[in-house]
Amino acid sequence: MKVTQPEDFHRSYTEAFNSGDIAALLDHYERDATFVPQPGQSAFGHFAIGEALQCYESVGKMAAETP
């Protein structure tokens, strides 16, 4: 899903996270983005971010609210 309105981002990201579909989750990141999974660590670019996000698959479900 392409997010065009800021208020739609949390819902879209949460749906992608909860689906377990890393490709759908990566759609929320720029190709040259940097992701910081933990302090002192960083992942640059889609491939590295995808690998870093896989460790969150076993975390469970995410919930987010946009006021």
Enumerate the domain spans of the chain: 6-54
Its pTM stands at: 0.81
pLDDT tens profile 39-57: 999 999 999 999 999 888 7
Say whether pLDDT at 58 is over 90: no
Rg of the chain over CA atoms, in angstroms?
Answer: 12
- Is CATH 3.40.710.10 the classification given to domain 6-54? no
DSSP state of 45: H
What local confidence, expressed as pLDDT, does residue 1 receive?
A: 60
Q: Give me the amino acid identity at 14.
A: T
Distance between CA atoms of 62 and 51, rounded to whole angstroms? 19
Q: Tokens 């990566």, residue?
A: 26
Q: The dihedral of CA 42, 24, 46, 4: what is its sign? A: negative
Average pLDDT for 16-26: 92
58 vs 44: which has the higher pLDDT: 44
